[in-house]
Chains A and B, each alone.
Chain A
């Protein structure tokens, strides 16, 4: 199965969002978009050109944007808010908590430039805490797709889900390898390769790195069960348990703090159902810094070699 995974060329996940929201706009007249002065970065000019009346520029005022989205949703619209992940979460956590989550408003919080791969802008903008914050909000769905095609599919699919969603994606051009015509199912993990020695669960940009790590491990005779967890919440418990019952150990890989991210969600599933050795590939209680996306991932312990080492460590602990 690993052989069949092919990079069809680098494209950014934010471009997938822009393409998705345009296609969705054509299909669903209730969809509206908002942006806080980052139209170019969020790639939503296409939607704005076709549907200027259904787009609201809020200026640099994210708290107001979240409140307006809640009001639009109360009145039956399906608002997609768009700004950087940093300004979509921590900056407006209380607005999201009260006006959207607690009020069960059908708002899609769409967040670009998440994580270290934002690159040169540095740690002020490289949020690594957002998955944890958003998954703690009752009733929130949290999605972190891995490439252009998956982000586009997720952007379209979440309109069908009645409830608040956090959709996280990123800045850099990144291998686009999932099928163009995929049907995105919230909460359904995707099996990328079958294996028996170790389960690797990856999310977002780290899925491609996990593919590369799996290839290297396979070369060394280690058989990898590789799973793309695009939905952090609700987490696909069945996929996790089926895999770990088979392999006996787990590795999680994410562009996020170790505290509160995908790894913790997987650990919860395992602890309650099937305790097994688990290794984390995540940022360890640290802020990032300026640099190129790939350099940063390598420096902060999110390299292909780190996944390989984590897999070997997990196997050793069986």
Chain B
């Protein structure tokens, strides 16, 4: 079991810098993929896998006795692949196969090729919370007191299935479930508010019966760690937990930051060099 391998915030920040390099290099290498949301969620996933969750990189599908994570917004696979590889689920060198023929690192995460660390495919949006609920129910049946984490995008909240799941979890008092929404305000066609406004998100989740937390800066490692630790203390109190995490799409690379333009586009050679020059190679590139 691997947990709290990095208790130190500086260590987590160094990992985040390396993960961001991995994201740029994977998407540049494949000349496709989704760097924007990946960069924005890097700090969250680093904190989750290297500080918050008890998890076992030798990987057992059923995950009994471990905390589990489900990624609903599967298009940010580059950040998850980097985190899984650097946690020890599979060799870091495999990141070079991202989106290539015969790779286990499919464009969107899949179990089909047997990539360790992934329990269900995602990519078609809106399905992850339901799956996480299923895993959380199984933990309850098994009297397993570990937690289930799930990440969704914010644009993804436009899917109807999300609100079916939002209704279900409080009805079943599923208090071993911690959902995080990547609230970066952007989606492929532009800002959420222009494409399809999400309205008062905190009020909506509260009204559905969730314990709502707002993470004001999901790109500040101290804030991320503190909020997630707090969320864990709220587990077991009769309600599912929803963290609305404000991030910036493209965080860490100045020309990619705060715009939807890099949602699903890879950097060219020059842009890649520029991006990598802004991200310190802390742990060695793959």
Taking a contact as CB atoms under 8 Å apart, the answer to whether B161 and A67 are in contact is yes
Q: Whole-angstrom distance from the CB of A60 to the nearest CB of chain B?
A: 9
Taking a contact as CB atoms under 8 Å apart, the answer to whether A59 and B168 are in contact is yes
Q: Whole-angstrom distance from the CB of B152 to the nearest CB of chain A?
A: 12
Q: Which of A32, A65, A99, A105 has the most B CB atoms < 10 Å from its CB? A: A99
Question: Can you list, as one digit per residue, whether each of A91-106 has a CB less than 8 Å from chain B (1) or not (0)?
Answer: 0001101110011110
State whether the Cβ of B195 lies closer than 8 Å to any Cβ in chain A: no
Q: Closest B-chain residue to A139, C-beta based?
A: B112
Residues of chain A within 8 A (CB-CB) of B135 are 71-72, 74-75
Residues of chain B within 8 A (CB-CB) of A215 are none
Taking a contact as CB atoms under 8 Å apart, the answer to whether A63 and B120 are in contact is no
Beyond A67-B165, A68-B168, whether A74 also contacts B61 by CB under 8 A is yes
Bound CA–CA A69/B129 (angstroms): 12
Taking a contact as CB atoms under 8 Å apart, the answer to whether B127 and A67 are in contact is yes
Taking a contact as CB atoms under 8 Å apart, the answer to whether A67 and B130 are in contact is yes
Q: Closest A-chain residue to B133, C-beta based?
A: A68
Q: Whole-angstrom distance from the CB of A1 to the nearest CB of chain B?
A: 44
Taking a contact as CB atoms under 8 Å apart, the answer to whether A70 and B112 are in contact is no
Taking a contact as CB atoms under 8 Å apart, the answer to whether A63 and B141 are in contact is no
Residues of chain A within 8 A (CB-CB) of B32 are none
Taking a contact as CB atoms under 8 Å apart, the answer to whether A98 and B165 are in contact is no
Question: Can you list, as one digit per residue, whether each of A38-54 has a CB less than 8 Å from chain B (1) or not (0)?
Answer: 00000000000000011
Taking a contact as CB atoms under 8 Å apart, the answer to whether A59 and B167 are in contact is yes
Question: Can you list, as one digit per residue, whether each of B63-88 has a CB less than 8 Å from chain A (1) or not (0)?
Answer: 11000101000000000000000000
State whether the Cβ of A76 lies closer than 8 Å to any Cβ in chain B: yes
Within 8 Å by CB of A61, from B61, B123, B126, B168, lies B168
Within 8 Å by CB of A99, from B121, B164, B171, lies B121
Q: Whole-angstrom distance from the CB of A158 to the nearest CB of chain B?
A: 19
State whether the Cβ of A268 lies closer than 8 Å to any Cβ in chain B: no
Residues of chain A within 8 A (CB-CB) of B165 are 64, 67
Taking a contact as CB atoms under 8 Å apart, the answer to whether B127 and A99 are in contact is yes
* A interface SS class: helix
State whether the Cβ of B119 lies closer than 8 Å to any Cβ in chain A: yes
Bound CA–CA A218/B67 (angstroms): 65
Taking a contact as CB atoms under 8 Å apart, the answer to whether B168 and A75 are in contact is no
Bound CA–CA A73/B110 (angstroms): 15
Bound CA–CA A67/B141 (angstroms): 17
Taking a contact as CB atoms under 8 Å apart, the answer to whether A32 and B141 are in contact is yes
Residues of chain B within 8 A (CB-CB) of A223 are none
Q: Closest A-chain residue to B162, C-beta based?
A: A64
Taking a contact as CB atoms under 8 Å apart, the answer to whether A71 and B168 are in contact is no
Within 8 Å by CB of B131, from A61, A99, A102, lies A99
State whether the Cβ of B124 lies closer than 8 Å to any Cβ in chain A: yes
State whether the Cβ of B62 lies closer than 8 Å to any Cβ in chain A: yes
Q: Count how many chain B residues have C-beta atoms less than 8 Å from C-beta atoms of the other chain.
A: 39
Within 8 Å by CB of B161, from A64, A73, A75, A79, lies A64
Q: Whole-angstrom distance from the CB of B59 to the nearest CB of chain A?
A: 12
Taking a contact as CB atoms under 8 Å apart, the answer to whether A95 and B161 are in contact is yes
Residues of chain A within 8 A (CB-CB) of B3 are none
Taking a contact as CB atoms under 8 Å apart, the answer to whether B111 and A68 are in contact is no
Bound CA–CA A32/B126 (angstroms): 24
State whether the Cβ of A56 lies closer than 8 Å to any Cβ in chain B: yes
Q: Closest A-chain residue to B148, C-beta based?
A: A71
Residues of chain B within 8 A (CB-CB) of A65 are 130
State whether the Cβ of B160 lies closer than 8 Å to any Cβ in chain A: yes
Q: Which of A58, A68, A69 has the most B CB atoms < 10 Å from its CB? A: A68
Q: Whole-angstrom distance from the CB of A108 to the nearest CB of chain B?
A: 14
Question: Can you list, as one digit per residue, whether each of B128-171 has a CB less than 8 Å from chain A (1) or not (0)?
Answer: 11111111111101100000000000000000110011011001
Residues of chain A within 8 A (CB-CB) of B38 are none
Residues of chain A within 8 A (CB-CB) of B122 are 98
Residues of chain B within 8 A (CB-CB) of A71 are 70, 120, 130-138
Bound CA–CA A75/B141 (angstroms): 10
Taking a contact as CB atoms under 8 Å apart, the answer to whether B130 and A64 are in contact is yes
Bound CA–CA A297/B133 (angstroms): 41
Question: Can you list, as one digit per residue, whether each of B8-51 has a CB less than 8 Å from chain A (1) or not (0)?
Answer: 00000000000000000000000000000000000000000000
State whether the Cβ of A159 lies closer than 8 Å to any Cβ in chain B: no
Q: A96-147: which residues lie under 8 A (CB-CB) from chain B?
A: 97-99, 102-105
Instruction: Show 9 A/B contacts (Cβ-Cβ < 8 Å), sorted by A.
Output: A58-B164, A61-B161, A61-B168, A63-B161, A65-B130, A73-B134, A74-B138, A99-B130, A99-B131
